[in-house]
Structure 1
Amino acid sequence: MKLSARLSAIAGASALVLGAFAGAVPANAAPGTAAAVTPPDISVTNVKQHLADLQTIATNNGGNRAHGRTGYKASIDFVKAKLDAAGYTTTLQQFTYNGSTGYNLIADWPGGDPNQVVMSGSHLDSVSSGPGINDNGSGSAAILETALAVSRAQFQPTKHLRFGWWGAEELGLVGSKYYVNNLPATERSKISGYLNFDMIGSPNPGYFVYDDDPTIEQTFKTYFTGLGIPTEIETEGDGRSDHAPFKNVGIPVGGLFTGADYTKTAAQAQKWGGTAGQAFDRCYHSSCDTTANINDTALDRNADAIAYAIWNLSSGTTPPPGKVFENTADVSVPDNGAAVTSSVTVSGITGNAPSSLSVGVNIVHTYIGDLVVDLIAPDGSVYNLHNRSGGSADNINQTYTVNASSEVANGVWKLRVQDKAAIDTGYINSFKLTFP
Structure 2
Amino acid sequence: MTRPAPRRTALAAAASLALAALLAAAVPAAASSSAAPSAAVLAAPDIPIANVKTHLTQLQSIATANGGNRAHGKAGYKASIDYVKAKLDAAGFTTALQTFTSSGATGYNLIADWPGGDTSQVLMSGSHLDSVTAGPGINDNGSGSAAILETALAVSRAAFQPAKHLRFAWWGAEELGMVGSKYYVNQLATADRAKIAGYLNFDMIGSPNPGYFVYDDDPTIEQTFKDYYAGISIPTEIETEGDGRSDHAPFKSAGIPVGGLFSGADYTKTAAQAQKWGGTSGQAFDRCYHASCDTSANINDTALDRSSDAIAYAVWSLSAATTPPPTGTVFENTTDVAVPDNGAAVTSSVAVAGRTGNAPSTLKVGVDIKHTYRGDLVVDLLAPDGSAYRLKNSSSGDSADNVIATYTVNASSEAANGTWKLRVQDIAAQDTGYIDSWKLTF
Select 1:141's aligned residue among 146, 157, 163.
Answer: 146
* CA offsets 1:390-424 (integer angstroms, 9 cap, x no match): xxxxxxxxxxxxxxxxxx9xxxxxxxxxxxxxxxx
2:116 is aligned to 111
1:184 aligns with 2:212: no
* CA offsets 1:250-299 (integer angstroms, 9 cap, x no match): 00000000000000000000000000000000000000000000000000
1:202 is aligned to 207
In structure 1, what residue type is equivalent to 2:163? T
Per the TM alignment, residue 40 of structure 1 is displaced from its structure 2 partner at its CA by: 1.4
**Alpha-carbon separation, structure 2, partners of 1:259 and 1:349:** 41
Residues 93 and 62 (structure 1 numbering): CA distance in 2 closer, same or farther, change over 3 Å? same
1:10 is aligned to 38
* CA offsets 1:34-87 (integer angstroms, 9 cap, x no match): xx7712110000000000000000000000000000000000000000000000
1:102 is aligned to 107
Per the TM alignment, residue 350 of structure 1 is displaced from its structure 2 partner at its CA by: 3.1
1:329 is aligned to none
Per the TM alignment, residue 5 of structure 1 is displaced from its structure 2 partner at its CA by: 7.3
Select 1:350's aligned residue among 331, 354, 362.
Answer: 362
In structure 1, what residue type is equivalent to 2:362? T
In structure 1, what residue type is equivalent to 2:110? L
Superposed CA RMSD in Å reads: 1.9
8 Å contact from structure 1 (residues 214, 322) kept in 2? no
* CA offsets 1:81-105 (integer angstroms, 9 cap, x no match): 0000000000000000111000000
**Alpha-carbon separation, structure 2, partners of 1:321 and 1:233:** 24
Structure 1 segment 417-436 matched on structure 2, within 5 A: none
2:286 is aligned to 281
Q: TM-score scaled to structure 1, two decimals?
A: 0.67
8 Å contact from structure 1 (residues 215, 322) kept in 2? no
User: 5+ unaligned residues in a row in structure 2: which ranges?
Assistant: 1-32, 329-359, 364-407, 409-442
Structure 1 segment 258-269 matched on structure 2, within 5 A: 258-269=263-274
SS of 1:92's equivalent?
A: strand
SS of 1:291's equivalent?
A: coil
In structure 2, what residue type is equivalent to 1:289? D
Structure 1 segment 24-423 matched on structure 2, within 5 A: 38-319=43-324, 350=362
2:6 is aligned to none
In structure 1, what residue type is equivalent to 2:193? R
8 Å contact from structure 1 (residues 122, 198) kept in 2? yes
* CA offsets 1:360-388 (integer angstroms, 9 cap, x no match): xxxxxxxxxxxxxxxxxxxxxxxxxxxxx
> Rg bigger for which structure?
2
8 Å contact from structure 1 (residues 37, 311) kept in 2? no
Aligned residues: 301
User: 5+ unaligned residues in a row in structure 1: which ranges?
Assistant: 15-35, 324-347, 352-407, 409-436
**Alpha-carbon separation, structure 1, partners of 2:274 and 2:64:** 33
**Alpha-carbon separation, structure 1, partners of 2:150 and 2:326:** 29
SS of 2:95's equivalent?
A: strand
**Alpha-carbon separation, structure 2, partners of 1:189 and 1:40:** 29
Identity of aligned residues (%): 78
1:373 is aligned to none
**Alpha-carbon separation, structure 1, partners of 2:295 and 2:253:** 33
* CA offsets 1:167-225 (integer angstroms, 9 cap, x no match): 00000000000000001110000000000000000000000000000000000000000
8 Å contact from structure 2 (residues 200, 248) kept in 1? yes
SS of 1:235's equivalent?
A: coil
